[in-house]
A = this chain, B = another copy of it.
Amino acid sequence: MAVTIRDVAKAAGVSTAAVSKVLHGRGNSVRVSDVRAGQIREIAEQLNYRPNVLARNLRTQRTHTVGLIFENFGSFAAGPLYYMHLLEGVGSVLFKNHYRLTILPELLHDDILGSLGDGQLEGVVWCKLTRDAQTLQLIHDCPIPIVAMNAPAPAEPTDAVFVACDNASGVRLAVEHLAKLGHRKIAFAHEIQELTSPDCLERRDAFHASAKELMGQEPNPADVLAWDWHLPEFAGWWKSDPGYTAIICWSERTAGTLINRATEAGLKLPEDLSIVGFDSTAYCETTTPRLTSVSQPISEMARYATNTLLNLIQGKRPENFSLTFPCGLDVRDSTTCPPPTGPLGPVSSE
């Protein structure tokens, strides 16, 4: 059995209160002389005493632990580096503040309150929180503070803090960039409909709006490639209306795969087709051509979200219950002027 504070107290001939005070600095009205303190420290060292954090947590009702919820842990490894940056950002702030980080599974709605209200977590960073009534209720009932990341803030303010990037202006930057290069008909690509996230939908809507505003392109269903990743699907869409000279992708991964398929289909990039991604991590440097991408300050957002959560835990009311980070545009090699000969005709599907 492990050495307890009582063992140390007994061995040193003092009370547990004294040991607690000396070793952990806890207890206000407890005073210990320097001599005693030295003895206690020595005995503790000899006995190899390690405080039981479970007991401390129970007593103090604090755990110094924060949870992180991914909306899709199961398909976690499919996406490129977005989640890693997120995790790195959250983790680094927590660790610096001597907090622990617990990864939570995708929770069934029934379980969530049980998991968040069992005393083990002091707060939660919730990635891609959805905005349905059930979730809003949950936010209301949740006994610990929540910071939502990459989730659009609901109309009515809640107790949760929402941190997101400005999808609309990010997409606008991409459209603007393409318009300046001379493009006049562009498309938007995301994975098949069932998997789309709130972020993705926001970006798609912004695409329609910006394309209309900046290049007079009327919204058209064909403008959106909802895609299963496979070559025939891409080739089919391309053949159906080959007038596009550029594609904006909702994410890095979509863009990376599209680069690959387009190349396989015989297109020369970026001369035949310009491609823009979204996220701009190190991944963009490793595609061929290197991927022009809307940049989202993921790591910074994660750090901000986590710091805000730590403040909430300490009872500090945040200045903003919703903060939107601006996006940038990292121009790399996957975008250029449209083909001088005009948009390309159909290409082979194999």
Contact = CB atoms under 8 A, between A and B. Distances in A.
Contact of A65 (B61, B102, B281): B102
B53 A74 contact: no
A259 B285 CA distance: 11
Interface of A: 2, 50-55, 57-58, 61, 63, 65, 73-74, 76-78, 80-81, 83-85, 87-88, 91-92, 95, 100-105, 113-114, 117-120, 143, 253, 256-257, 259-260, 263, 281-283, 285-288, 290, 299
Given A2-B143, A288-B263, A103 B91 contact: yes
A51 B119 CA distance: 9
B120 A54 contact: yes
B286 A257 contact: yes
| Copies of this chain in its oligomeric complex | 2
A114 B50 contact: yes
B118 A50 contact: yes
B77 A119 contact: no
Given A84-B84, A253-B286, 10 more contacts: A50-B117, A50-B118, A52-B118, A52-B119, A57-B58, A73-B92, A77-B282, A91-B105, A101-B102, A260-B290
A259 B80 CA distance: 18
Nearest to A78: B282
Contact of A84 (B55, B77, B114): B77
Is chain A's interface secondary structure helix, strand, loop, or mixed overall? helix
Contacts of A55: 58, 119
Given A50-B118, A53-B120, A88 B77 contact: yes
A91 B80 CA distance: 18
Nearest to A76: B88
Contact of A260 (B58, B80, B286): B286
Nearest to A299: B77
Given A85-B77, A91-B73, A285 B299 contact: no
Contacts of A52: 58, 118-119
Contacts of A58: 52, 54-55, 57-58
Contact of A53 (B105, B118, B143): B118
Contacts of A288: 259-260, 263, 287-288
A53 B58 CA distance: 9
